Amino acid sequence: AYNGPSYEQILATRKNHLTPNLVSHFKKPLVIHAGHMQWLYDHEGRRYLDMFGGIVTVSVGHCHPKVNQALTDQISRLWHTTNIYMHPKIHEYAERLTAKFPGNLKAVCFVNSGSEANDMAMLMARLHTGNQDILTFRNAYHGMSPYTMGLTAHSTWRYPLPGINNGIVHVMNPDPYQGIWGGAACRDSPVQTTHSCNCTPGSCEAGNAYYNELEQTFKYSLPRGKVAAMFAESIQGVGGTVQYPKGYLKRAADLVRANGGLFVADEVQTGFGRTGDHFWGFEGHDYTPDIVTMAKGIGNGFPLAAVVTTPEIAATLGLALHFNTYGGNPMASAVGISVLDIIEEEQLQRNSLEVGTYFLKCLEELQKRYELIGDVRGKGLMIGVELVNDRETRAPLAAPHMLDIWETCKDLGVLFGRGGLHGNVLRIKPPMCINRADAKFAVDVLGCAIANTLAKQK
């Protein structure tokens, strides 16, 4: 049972002593004081089914006993040496993690957050290529450090700092649902509810149109047509689970390389089996990046992140001394190893595929009942449900209705995330240990919440 400070005390401290504008979910933010696998518990003893996993971070389950054990064992032996001496755990982990990658992606640099990982990838790409400009999508999220805030495209996550866009070019988002050319029939998802173009999978005209637009960016915006890198999430997370037309990323990677650049896959949300069909999201796009960044699910909630690249690209860091106080510390490495073990032992990638596909099918059924479900998309346990005012115009569902549905789900015991520039996409990215009954319950709750909101409108 909870025996901490009162709700009012916590709220006052949050208001008076924490960063202003700290992102909070729900009108009355929850006090969560305990968790177990896919469940969270609030201060009044209510239990919630967690469909957002601390923003796609809790990969194998809250307080998974095996991760807890690995961390406890390590904590009682050694916390820290700043890597100036050789601790066996970081070496063991480097071997285990790099073994998960294809090709020559065999060198890893451990850091502590996704922003840091993307900072490092930007640095490597610029040093390695000698070029300055970096491309990313207009709907991207890659972090909030001053360097990565330039990559992040949503104005909601950007402070008005001079120079953050220095060397960054945002290209048109190949968004098959809201984008101008469609392409939903060609995205890589077990459900195809929204056919917004006439093409057949495999020869996507919309994909070609978005690709041609990217080519124009090289001609118009890049000095000598040269580029240091292009960054892409394998499925956009914060942007609202946006999938690109199939084949787009592979062609984009070829184009970037032909113009002197590196392709960086941001796997912060899509890695570690979440997309179900592959361990890494980029594998679903049938190409191998030059640099891969990862965070969140890698540590199941422990601050741990990494950049994996080829030994040749990693060698650029040899131009100066490399130092990171906490990167790959013994506790983080012990956690990282246990997360890899659990994903394998409990077959969580397969579970993501099976439960995720079932989840998507249930949502597709729900969409048939409610006009305001404009789009159901995603794969594995990386799912988005876009709510709209009207299916024709695809205008985002008005915020009060969106918030009402989201809050009702919480009141009924299911926590969803929200995303997209207008916050009208429900994001479903739970710990990968959920089962079919959990998925069914979450969809039933969403149905009740929608019916409730519609009834109030009448």
DSSP string, 366-416: HHHH-TTEEEEEEETTEEEEEEBS-TTT-PBPPHHHHHHHHHHHHHTTEE-
Q: Considering beta carbons, is residue 141 or 147 the nearer one to ligand PMP?
A: 141
Contact 367, 373 (CB under 8 A): yes
Q: Is 115 one of the binding residues for ligand PMP (CB under 6 A)?
A: yes
Residue span binding ligand PMP (CB under 6 A) among the ranges 81-89, 135-143, 322-330, 350-358: 135-143
**Residue 113 is a binding residue for ligand PMP (CB under 6 A):** yes
- In angstroms, give the least distance from the CB of 296 to ligand PMP: 6
Host H or E run for residue 117: helix 114-129
Q: Between 266 and 404, whose beta carbon lies closer to ligand PMP?
A: 266
Binding flag, residue 61, ligand PMP (CB under 6 A):
no
* Nearest-approach distance from CB 239 to ligand PMP, in angstroms: 9
SS3 381: coil
Interaction mask 384-423, ligand PMP, x per CB under 6 A: ----------------------------------------
Smallest gap from Cβ 45 to ligand PMP, in A, equals 30
Q: How far is the CB of 391 from ligand PMP (least distance, A)?
A: 28
Which span (19-27, 93-101, 108-116, 408-416) binds ligand PMP, by CB under 6 A? 108-116
Q: Which of residues 66-85 bind ligand PMP (CB under 6 A)?
A: none
268 binds ligand PMP (CB under 6 A): yes
Q: Which two tokens stand for residue 265?
A: 């896959």
Residue carrying structure tokens 């009924």: 412
Angle, CA 183 vertex, CA 134 and CA 375 arms, to 5°: 105
Q: Residues in contact with ligand PMP, total (CB under 6 A)?
A: 15
CB of 120 to ligand PMP, least distance (A): 12
- Name which position in 87, 128, 142, 418 contacts ligand PMP (CB under 6 A): 142
User: Mind giving me the DSSP string for 22-65?
Assistant: ----SSS---EEEEEBTEEEETTS-EEEESSHHHHT-SS-BT-H
Report the amino acid identity of residue 141. Y
Q: Contacts with ligand PMP in 215-254 (CB under 6 A)?
A: 233, 237-238
If one asks whether residue 299 binds ligand PMP (CB under 6 A), the answer comes out as: no
Nearest 5°: the CA angle 363, 366, 368 is 120
Nearest distance in Å: CB 236, ligand PMP: 8
Burial class of residue 246, CB neighbours in 10 A (0-12, 13-18, 19+): buried
CA angle centred on 214, ends 273 and 282, rounded to 5°: 10
Q: How far is the CB of 436 from ligand PMP (least distance, A)?
A: 27
Q: Which is nearer to ligand PMP, 269 or 408 (CB)?
A: 269
- Rounded Cα gap, residues 165 and 147, in angstroms: 9
Residues 6+ positions from 296 with CB-CB distance below 8 Å: 55, 56, 57, 59, 114, 268, 269, 305
Based on the shown chain and the rule CB under 6 A, indicate whether residue 209 belongs to the binding site for ligand PMP. Answer: no
Query: HSE (CB half, 13 Å, CA atoms) of 150?
Result: 18
User: Which residues in 28-57 contact ligand PMP (CB under 6 A)?
Assistant: 55
Q: Where are the alpha helices (DSSP H) in 191-316?
A: 205-221, 248-258, 311-314
By the rule CB under 6 A, 269 interacts with ligand PMP: yes
Instruction: Give the nearer residue to ligand PMP in terms of CB position, either 374 or 417.
Output: 417
Task: Please report where in the chains the tokens 């971070």 appear, as a residue.
Answer: 57
Amino acid at 364: E
Go through the chain and tell me how many residues it has: 458
**Least gap, CB of 303 to ligand PMP (angstroms):** 8
23 versus 321: smaller Cβ distance to ligand PMP: 23
- Residues lying near ligand PMP in the complex (CB under 6 A): 55, 113-115, 118, 141-143, 233, 237-238, 266, 268-269, 295
